[in-house]
Chains A and B, each alone.
Chain A
Amino acid sequence: MQRRINLWSNIDWLAVTIYLVLVFLGWVNIYAAVYNEEHHSIFDVTQRYGKQLIWISAAIVIAFLVFIIDINFYSYFAYLVYGVMIFLLLAVLIFGLEVHGARSWFQIGNIRIQPSEFAKIATALALARYLSTFNVQLNTFKTYLRVAAIILVPAFLILLQNDTGSALVYFAFIMVLYREGISASVLLLGFFVIVLFILALILEKLIIISLSIGVVFIIFWILNRKFKNVALGFGILMASSAILYGLNEFLVLGLSYYYIMLSALGFSALVYIILSIRYKVRSVILLLVFLLGSIIFTFSVDYVFNNFLEEHQQKRINVVLGLESDPYGVEYNVNQSKIAIGSGGFSGKGFLRGTQTKFDFVPEQSTDFIFCTIGEEWGFVGTFFVLGLFIFFLYRLIGIAERQRSSFSRIYGYGVVSVLFFHIAINIGMTIGLVPVIGIPLPFFSYGGSSLWGFTIMLFIFLRLDASRLEMLG
């Protein structure tokens, strides 16, 4: 009895309150999004808003159940839960139901469950368990490999279900790894790869190669701090380029600038290697490998883009990058979404007064594009409030994570924060045209039982760990 009372008083009631407010606002906005005059009661269970109320009630029961489970369960059984989840992800590939082209649902009676919404929890648990193991440190290749496996196996299985959006969510765990000490250079490298990928789609290859060379020279300067070396290296490259260019013009070889530049680079690289060995200049070879890697990567982007992404995914990326206009397809959706939000103005059109969101102009109104309804009916006031509440919520959760004595709890907490943040940033960013259309729900708002339950369980496991933080050892 003593322990139970302690538990209740140790709950972070502020987080619980924010959770309840978000869920309630979600329900009201789903009502507005699919409002139907014939079924005006918000409790009508034949409509989505009535159903969402059922999901919410069940979610609260589930949250309670999560709370009465013993705290050690989560760390002891983290791997088991993870294993079962992987099994379910495999099973859904075989026995699953296909909805909108994604084979990611189990149908049990009238209820459809999407295992990928729960796999995030299992992954966060397994990651927390692994990283909190005594003497595991994020600095050996073996650790990187295991961490990558824990994160990427479920992501890959979800990708196989053709649910790209949910698979991308796993990138969010990079935040956890950052907090737990992954080297900043690994992150920078990852960031560079992403930038390179985007640039390769927008810019001429020649420009990208020039930029990469510039970046390499800058890194070289940072590492060596000798202006003379940098100037010399640059001079060699310029001279060989000029000579090759002159030869090409003089002999009328008609070679393209690509060949001239790459040959000049190749020639200069040889000179660099010889000089660096002779004068013992550090990290030149490493930088050359890096440059070679980025050039190969640049040239392979087109191939990957054309062969590994599906047409609609290519289209979405092209539309966001402004390379393609598609006013009736993807762009249409984003445009509709922007019109809906924009037409809300400062204070909105008022509850149930939205016109854009009611015409089904905005697709997936009650699920992925629920933010449009908020924007249209509640205006900037509403969007500011909701976005602000989310940011505050994340801020609070980080605070809770940081006060944990056990590293398992802290790492798991960051898992929760990173997944929530990714969902919020991508979902809202998509409705205001800042990121490509990726179909993932807005946590606690979007219509649907699986996602609501998934996020609820995820959050309440964390709050449960927090409530007993004093019992757990570091």
Chain B
Amino acid sequence: MDSFANRRHIIRFVIILVGLIYIIRLFLLQVVDNTYKVTASSNVLRYVTQFPARGLIYDREGRLLVYNEAAYDLMLVPQQLEAFDTAEFCDILNVSKEYIDENIKRAKDYSHYNSSIFLKQVSSITYANLQEKLYKYPGFYVQARTLRKYTNENGAHLLGYVGEVNDKIIEKDDYYKSGDYIGISGIEQSYEEYLRGEKGVNVYLVDVHNRIKGTYSNGRLDKKAEVGSNIISTIDVDLQSYGEKLMNNKIGSIVAIEPSTGEILALVSAPTYNPELLVGRIRTKNYVNLMSDTLKPLFNRALMAQYPPGSTFKIINGLIGLQEKVLWTSTEHDCAGAYYSGRMRVGCHIHRSPLDFIESIQMSCNTYYCNVFRSILDNKKYPTIRESFDQWREYVMSFGFGQYLNSDFSNELKGLVPTKQTYDRVYGEKGWRSLTLVSMAIGQGELGTTPLQMANMTAAIANRGYYYTPHIVKEIEGDYSLDDRFYQKNYTKIDSNYFNIVIEGMDLAVNGEPGSGSTARTAHLEDVVVCGKTGTAENPHGEDHSIFIAFAPKDDPKIAIAVYIENGGFGGTWAAPTAKLMIEKYLNDSISVPWWEQYVLNAEINYNAETDKPLE
């Protein structure tokens, strides 16, 4: 019945064979091979992490922005601790006895056998002193690290900062250990993987006197640290610092993009802060201070503040009207200072009437765009407004609104373009008409856009119909290229020939004869043709926000810019001259009319007002 009983011998043989192989291996490993032995006098291996220098950050012209400085952490392995002269130790380190007791206890709580940081970022002088006497303090050793340094105080928001990893990150990513640094925002965060390099480790033999006797096993287990890759940012640091200067004593944002590449030339969020504040031991204290500042200097308005686009959005509605063939260059509308329909009234300002399409942009007539917007939504081509609205929404989205642009910043806001469901919920599926939505004709109402999105829209107009996804990094040193998405054109759903028509209007808005009703003459430059459009975002909490978008030169755009000045009122008052100065600075590197510069620099716009500040 059991004819395979003999096979038990083979099975036993296999088991014993494996056992024998293992025992021979163990004998070789434990008795014969001396590589793994550690003599009694040097019975401690110390694993010292080699922290690589973080990659440097340059501006687009190769000017250094961020570099590193050496810093030293005093580390402690509690298990190797012996009694020592506390008074002398306090003296060297310039700390209190309580600090020492407290931190020894903390280190023990963390682990007896693993090292933890005892004192962070000891100065080079202290380090030199300490190094000589370290033999008296078994269990302590010094670990070299690097700290960020900045060549100037500009660009804090876009550079971002570096901070210690938290438990969540440690748990998610094996690479990081407690006490390591990681990029927390801006370029430092988005390009962390490239900037950080690769940690290494040196294994040393340490004797009982805390002296390193040499590398263990001839460095066979060592791993060299790899220095992080340098990054060349798209920023023009001159333009960036000029923008920050202009925005002094104001709240708001400037974003400038090179239309032919999508490279961000400047990204200003005001008020800003000095990036040095968030480095080293002072970081936590300063961070708390900045967080509690009512003007929210840590808040990156360029990416995260959401405003209605205001009248600048008329350009988009105009383009959609042209594309949908409900509007022609010759279309004229009367304006008697306001748009009336039933009980609805949308105010306008005083200008001559009637206006054709190009003049409507030049003079920014609200009435004209209420008509345009309604003819888009009431287009007979579509069975109901729900379809025509969807179509309109698709056009708007093709400019990058209402979605993440997918720039290389991680904290972009999506902005807001309402869906038909939004209105269905409020009015019911059949309860809304074009008139219901008419405030969006002039860029108010349910729309929300970020300054970055506005600058991107301007770049799309400057390119006559497409944009490159905006990005802040131009080049990563080494064999890396940027993500493919930054090299691809994103086309809007509007044909390129229609752009030339609106650009004529934007030209006239800036460069029309004095007295012709041009709304943006404050952005006029003598030797550069600037094309622009003013806007005013309604602000329920106080004075309206001043908006201006522009690009220049008209025929070969080198810069597209969006300026937001909170509580600045009409777009032509503050935003337009600010944009003009930025354009001139970038294109000519000089300011032709210093008076304008003084005008903007001296302005202190609602900086201390209570109106638009969050409550404490």
Contact residues of A between 318 and 346, Cβ < 8 Å to B? 327-328, 332, 335, 338-339, 341-346
* Docked pose: A84 CA to B112 CA in angstroms: 45
Q: Are B8's CB and A432's CB within 8 A?
A: no
Nearest 4 interchain pairs by C-beta: A342-B36, A391-B19, A380-B30, A181-B4
Q: A179-B7, A380-B26, A434-B25 are in contact. List 12 more A-B contacts (CB 8 A).
A: A327-B223, A338-B29, A338-B36, A346-B31, A355-B44, A358-B112, A384-B26, A391-B15, A407-B2, A425-B18, A428-B22, A434-B21
Q: Are B1's CB and A398's CB within 8 A?
A: no
Interface residue? B489 (CB, 8 A): no
Name 6 A/B residue pairs within 8 A (Cβ), A-sorted: A335-B221, A346-B30, A358-B113, A407-B1, A414-B11, A432-B22
Interface residue? B211 (CB, 8 A): no
Interface residue? B43 (CB, 8 A): yes
Do A181 and B30 form a contact, CB below 8 Å, given A355-B43, A432-B25? Answer: no
Interface residue? B393 (CB, 8 A): no
Q: Are B15's CB and A394's CB within 8 A?
A: yes
Rounded to whole Å, the gap between the CB of A255 and the closest CB of chain B is 34
Contact residues of A between 381 and 395, Cβ < 8 Å to B? 383-384, 387-388, 390-391, 394-395
Rounded to whole Å, the gap between the CB of A217 and the closest CB of chain B is 27
Contacts of A38 in B (CB 8 A): 108, 112
> Of all chain A residues, which has the CB nearest B34?
A342
Q: Are A395's CB and B25's CB within 8 A?
A: no
Q: Are A175's CB and B5's CB within 8 A?
A: no
Interface residue? A360 (CB, 8 A): yes
Given A355, A360, A388, A402, which contacts B19 in the complex, CB threshold below 8 Å? Answer: A388
Cβ contacts B32-60/A at 8 Å (1 or 0 each): 01011110000111010000000000000
B7, B10, B27 pick with most chain A CB within 10 angstroms: B7
Rounded to whole Å, the gap between the CB of A360 and the closest CB of chain B is 6
Q: Are A387's CB and B22's CB within 8 A?
A: yes
Q: Are B221's CB and A327's CB within 8 A?
A: yes
Rounded to whole Å, the gap between the CB of A474 and the closest CB of chain B is 7
Interface residue? B16 (CB, 8 A): yes
Interface residue? B124 (CB, 8 A): no
Contact residues of B between 334 and 358, Cβ < 8 Å to A? none
> Of all chain B residues, which has the CB nearest A428?
B22
Contacts of B15 in A (CB 8 A): 391, 394-395, 398, 421
Contacts of B30 in A (CB 8 A): 341-342, 344-346, 375, 379-380, 383
Interface residue? A37 (CB, 8 A): yes
Q: Chain A interface (Cβ within 8 Å of chain B)?
A: 36-38, 175, 178-181, 327-328, 332, 335, 338-339, 341-346, 355-356, 358-361, 375, 379-380, 383-384, 387-388, 390-391, 394-395, 398, 402, 407, 410, 414, 417, 421, 425, 428-429, 432, 434, 474
Interface residue? B23 (CB, 8 A): yes
* Docked pose: A223 CA to B31 CA in angstroms: 47
Interface residue? B114 (CB, 8 A): yes
Interface residue? B608 (CB, 8 A): no
Q: Are A36's CB and B22's CB within 8 A?
A: no
Q: Are B19's CB and A343's CB within 8 A?
A: no
* Docked pose: A328 CA to B201 CA in angstroms: 8
Do A432 and B2 form a contact, CB below 8 Å, given A179-B11, A395-B12, A398-B8? Answer: no
Q: Are A380's CB and B114's CB within 8 A?
A: no
Contacts of B79 in A (CB 8 A): 37, 358
Rounded to whole Å, the gap between the CB of B110 and the closest CB of chain A is 11
* Docked pose: A36 CA to B199 CA in angstroms: 29
Interface residue? B410 (CB, 8 A): no
Given A327, A335, A338, A398, which contacts B12 in the complex, CB threshold below 8 Å? Answer: A398
* Docked pose: A398 CA to B5 CA in angstroms: 11
Interface residue? B3 (CB, 8 A): yes
Contacts of B26 in A (CB 8 A): 341, 375, 380, 383-384, 387, 432
Interface residue? B384 (CB, 8 A): no
Contacts of A398 in B (CB 8 A): 8, 11-12, 15
Q: Are B4's CB and A180's CB within 8 A?
A: yes
Contacts of A390 in B (CB 8 A): 19
Contacts of B25 in A (CB 8 A): 432, 434
Contacts of B123 in A (CB 8 A): none
> Of all chain B residues, which has the CB nearest A353?
B43
Number of interface residues of B (CB under 8 A): 42
Q: Chain B interface (Cβ within 8 Å of chain A)?
A: 1-5, 7-8, 10-12, 15-16, 18-19, 21-23, 25-27, 29-31, 33, 35-38, 43-45, 47, 79, 108, 111-114, 199, 201, 221, 223
Do A175 and B31 form a contact, CB below 8 Å, given A359-B114, A387-B26? Answer: no
Rounded to whole Å, the gap between the CB of A29 and the closest CB of chain B is 16
> Of all chain A residues, which has the CB nearest B3?
A181
* Docked pose: A383 CA to B22 CA in angstroms: 10
Do A179 and B4 form a contact, CB below 8 Å, given A345-B37, A358-B113? Answer: yes
* Docked pose: A37 CA to B38 CA in angstroms: 24
* Docked pose: A360 CA to B10 CA in angstroms: 40
Contacts of B29 in A (CB 8 A): 338, 341-342, 432
* Docked pose: A457 CA to B113 CA in angstroms: 37
* Docked pose: A346 CA to B16 CA in angstroms: 22
Q: Are B113's CB and A342's CB within 8 A?
A: no
Given B8, B47, B114, B199, which contacts A402 in the complex, CB threshold below 8 Å? Answer: B8
Do A361 and B31 form a contact, CB below 8 Å, given A391-B19, A395-B15, A432-B22? Answer: no
* Docked pose: A398 CA to B11 CA in angstroms: 9
* Docked pose: A407 CA to B8 CA in angstroms: 14
> Of all chain B residues, which has the CB nearest A326?
B223
Q: Are B112's CB and A37's CB within 8 A?
A: yes
Contacts of A355 in B (CB 8 A): 38, 43-45
* Docked pose: A362 CA to B36 CA in angstroms: 14
Contacts of B21 in A (CB 8 A): 434
Contacts of A410 in B (CB 8 A): 2
Given B2, B4, B18, B47, which contacts A361 in the complex, CB threshold below 8 Å? Answer: B47
Rounded to whole Å, the gap between the CB of B408 and the closest CB of chain A is 25
* Docked pose: A343 CA to B39 CA in angstroms: 9
Contacts of B114 in A (CB 8 A): 359-360
Rounded to whole Å, the gap between the CB of A106 and the closest CB of chain B is 22
* Docked pose: A461 CA to B29 CA in angstroms: 38
> Of all chain B residues, which has the CB nearest A402?
B8
Do A343 and B44 form a contact, CB below 8 Å, given A358-B113, A402-B5, A428-B22? Answer: no
Q: Are B23's CB and A387's CB within 8 A?
A: yes
* Docked pose: A341 CA to B114 CA in angstroms: 19
Contacts of A434 in B (CB 8 A): 21-22, 25
Contacts of A391 in B (CB 8 A): 15-16, 19
B8, B15, B21, B223 pick with most chain A CB within 10 angstroms: B15
* Docked pose: A358 CA to B201 CA in angstroms: 18
Rounded to whole Å, the gap between the CB of B122 and the closest CB of chain A is 24
* Docked pose: A327 CA to B23 CA in angstroms: 25
Contacts of A379 in B (CB 8 A): 30
Rounded to whole Å, the gap between the CB of B231 and the closest CB of chain A is 24
Contacts of B113 in A (CB 8 A): 358-360
* Docked pose: A407 CA to B18 CA in angstroms: 27
Contacts of B19 in A (CB 8 A): 387-388, 390-391
Contacts of A421 in B (CB 8 A): 15, 18
Contacts of B8 in A (CB 8 A): 179, 398, 402
Rounded to whole Å, the gap between the CB of B397 and the closest CB of chain A is 37
* Docked pose: A388 CA to B47 CA in angstroms: 34
Rounded to whole Å, the gap between the CB of A108 and the closest CB of chain B is 24
Contacts of B38 in A (CB 8 A): 343, 355
Contacts of A474 in B (CB 8 A): 1
Rounded to whole Å, the gap between the CB of B601 and the closest CB of chain A is 53
Contacts of A407 in B (CB 8 A): 1-2
> Of all chain A residues, which has the CB nearest B1?
A474
> Of all chain A residues, which has the CB nearest B2?
A407
* Docked pose: A380 CA to B35 CA in angstroms: 15
Contacts of A178 in B (CB 8 A): 7, 10-11
* Docked pose: A356 CA to B37 CA in angstroms: 11
Contacts of A328 in B (CB 8 A): 199, 201, 223
* Docked pose: A205 CA to B18 CA in angstroms: 30
